[in-house]
Amino acid sequence: MAKNRLIGGSIWEEYSQKVQDLMNNPKNMGEITEEDAKAMGGKLVVADFGAESCGDAVRLYWVVDEKSEIILDAKFKSFGCGTAIASSDTMAELCKGKTVSEAVKITNIDVEKAMRDNPSTPAVPPQKMHCSVMAYDVIKAAAASYKGVDPEDFEDEIIVCECARVSLGTIKEVIRLNDLKSVEEITNYTKAGAFCKSCIKPGGHEDREYYLVDILKDTREEMEQERLKALADAKISGSNEEASFEKLTVVGQLKLVESVIDADIRPMLVADGGNLEIIDIRQDSEFIDIYIRYLGACSGCASSSTGTLYAIESILQEKLSKNIRVLPI
């Protein structure tokens, strides 16, 4: 457990250690003056963005080298919750060293991922995901100010939820990353559909091209097709019969194990705040040993070596091979 997280179901367990550290000690909070920018040999850019949905606001400062358009320094002021501070600080750090055109490509998903302690565990609880959207919008505002254009000129994605400024690409990626199965989960993670609700399904006060119910359905179908393709790729080349699990290469075995875990195991773990990753697969004459590492809540759970482990092993044995053993490390 992270050193600053409280024991006994504290809300802080839902925040990564990086987020907690940045809430209390942001590295890039402050102001850049015209004099500061001149001393660095760059142009000062200042942009503001406020989120009407939650009342938070952020001001972004850039110092841009006008010859190369590289962002020499970035700072921010944030008026909002601790998550907004952490997101803004991470956003400013990601901007440094990039050109203005590269910075515009930074998304709220990039900001959230950069705040994670490990790649598979979200950095913040679902209801706080919208704070990183604000960071995404203020970057566009700064780039537009520098280039003298409208911020919408940088919008290369379709906006599904105008209230929370959530794009189609973001919604689809969040569904995939977190294996979401309901519109309510999408709203919890992105705030899409949380306000006027016209983007949830047809029949609201405003007709839209894309609705969350359809995006969820289409994305889940794409995920299933990808899973089936992974199963097909694991067949023996030139044979019409599916290869026995034992005869597959380690790569083929890994693909099948991952597909079963994603479909039948991971959702169960994620629902309780946990997860797992596959470390190795080793095979001898009798057993196929699959070494896993528990993540999140699973890493400290008493049942990780009893009931949960038995359930994981039973599913893999049923779906793939009776010779599988699952060994946590």
161 has catalytic annotation: no
CB atoms within 10 A of CB 63: 22
Q: Does the annotation count 196 as an active-site position?
A: no
* DSSP code, position 67: T
With beta carbons less than 8 A apart as the criterion, state whether 96 and 78 touch: no
Single out the catalytic residue among 131, 161, 163, 298: 131
Contact of 90 with 110, CB cutoff 8 Å: no
CA 66/CA 90 separation, integer angstroms? 24
Which tokens belong to 248? 């597959």
Question: Do 289 and 283 touch, CB atoms closer than 8 A?
Answer: yes
Q: Does residue 60 contact residue 96 with C-beta atoms inside 8 Å? A: no
Closest by Cα among 182, 321, 187 to 256: 321
**Residue 48, token pair as written in the block:** 């503001």
Note whether 135 and 91 are within 8 A (CB): yes
Rg (CA), the chain: 23
**Distance set, CA 93 to CA 43, 129, 133, 136, 159 (Å):** 18, 18, 16, 13, 26
**Helical spans, DSSP H, in 125-211:** 130-147, 168-178, 183-190
- Spatial neighbors of 8 by CB under 8 A, at least 6 apart, are none
Beta-strand relationship, 71-79 and 159-161: unpaired
- What residues act catalytically? 54, 131
